[in-house]
Amino acid sequence: MIKIAPSILSADFSHLADEVKKITDAGAEYVHIDVMDGTFVPNITIGSPVVKSLRKVTDAVFDVHLMVEHPETQIEAFAEAGADIITFHVEAAKHSHRIIQQIHAAGCKAGIALNPGTSLAMIEELVGDVDMVLCMTVNPGYGGQKFIESQLDKIHMLYHNLHDLELDCDIEVDGGINAETSKLVRQAGANVLVAGSAVYGAPDIAQAIRDIRGFDIEHED
């Protein structure tokens, strides 16, 4: 099943509760929350207190994307604040397997993210333990960047690896997703689509979400 996860990075932060309501009313399955620390990526964005405040105004699934060094220091704070899914970057972690255990112990689903320059080999020993793999389709740090087409082969390969291993693991894509690139990543096997500027920058948010969701699609072999 395709799930749409609009990123509130492109929302108006002065009206964040209303901005979240707009996407949940429009049928988005997840609220994607981009956490940046100014070190792993250049930007600084949202911390766990903001997630805690948003938790009071919605029951939506919070999909927290940690773009931070030392992700193990943030897990409990985000879980207690109301995160449902916590994804961290394999490039930022020394003990990835332990962090996955930590996320599960905190009561959340665990995701592992890969930058465009990171090979699937980095997560080979981890895919059996995560609920989701996030393939970045831009270099993380900013909204509104151009989709990197070379990532389609990686997504396709991951889809087949997971299928061969009979693993029930979501494939999330993040960066430069719009109605056109959505089709490409869905064909390659992605089923959770993050979109920031293509949702919040659209005149009609519900229509933008429908366009990104698209129609049922046959996977490539």
Q: Which residues are catalytic?
A: 34, 174
Identify the residue among 140, 158, 209, 213 touching ligand DX5 (CB under 6 A). Answer: 140
Q: Which residues of 61-84 are buried (b: 16+ CB within 10 A; e: fewer)?
A: bbbbbbbbbebbebbeebbebbbb
Q: Look at residue 145 and give the partner it binds from Zn ion, ligand DX5, none, a contact being a CB closer than 5 to 8 Å depending on partner kind.
A: ligand DX5
145 binds ligand DX5 (CB under 6 A): yes
Site membership for Zn ion, residue 65 (CB under 5 A): yes
Backbone φ, ψ for residue 57 (5° rounding): -110, 0
- Site for ligand DX5, residues 59 to 88, rule: CB under 6 A: 65
- For residues 175 to 194, the per-residue mask of contacts with ligand DX5, x marking binding by CB under 6 A and - elsewhere, is xxx----------------x
Q: Which residues 155-174 are close enough to bind Zn ion by CB under 5 A?
A: 174
107 binds, among ligand DX5, Zn ion, none (CB under 5 to 8 A by kind): none
**Cα–Cα distance, 58 to 25 (Å, whole number):** 11
Which of 111/175 has CB closer to ligand DX5?
Answer: 175
Taking CB under 6 A as the criterion, the residue among 26, 116, 127, 141 binding ligand DX5 is 141
Indicate whether 197 belongs to the interface with ligand DX5 (CB under 6 A): yes
Least CB distance to Zn ion at residue 176 (A): 11
Alpha carbons 64 and 35: distance in angstroms, whole number: 7
| Distance, CA of 14 to CA of 172 (rounded, Å) | 28
Applying CB under 5 A, the site for Zn ion has a residue count of 3
Q: How far apart are CA 26 and CA 15, in angstroms?
A: 17
Percent of residues in the chain assigned helix, strand, coil, to nearest 5: 40, 20, 40
138 lies in the site for ligand DX5, by CB under 6 A: yes
Chain residue whose CB lies nearest Zn ion? 65
| Residues β-bridged to residue 63 | 32, 85
Pick from 92, 161, 156: nearest CA to 128:
161
Interaction site with Zn ion (CB under 5 A) = 34, 65, 174
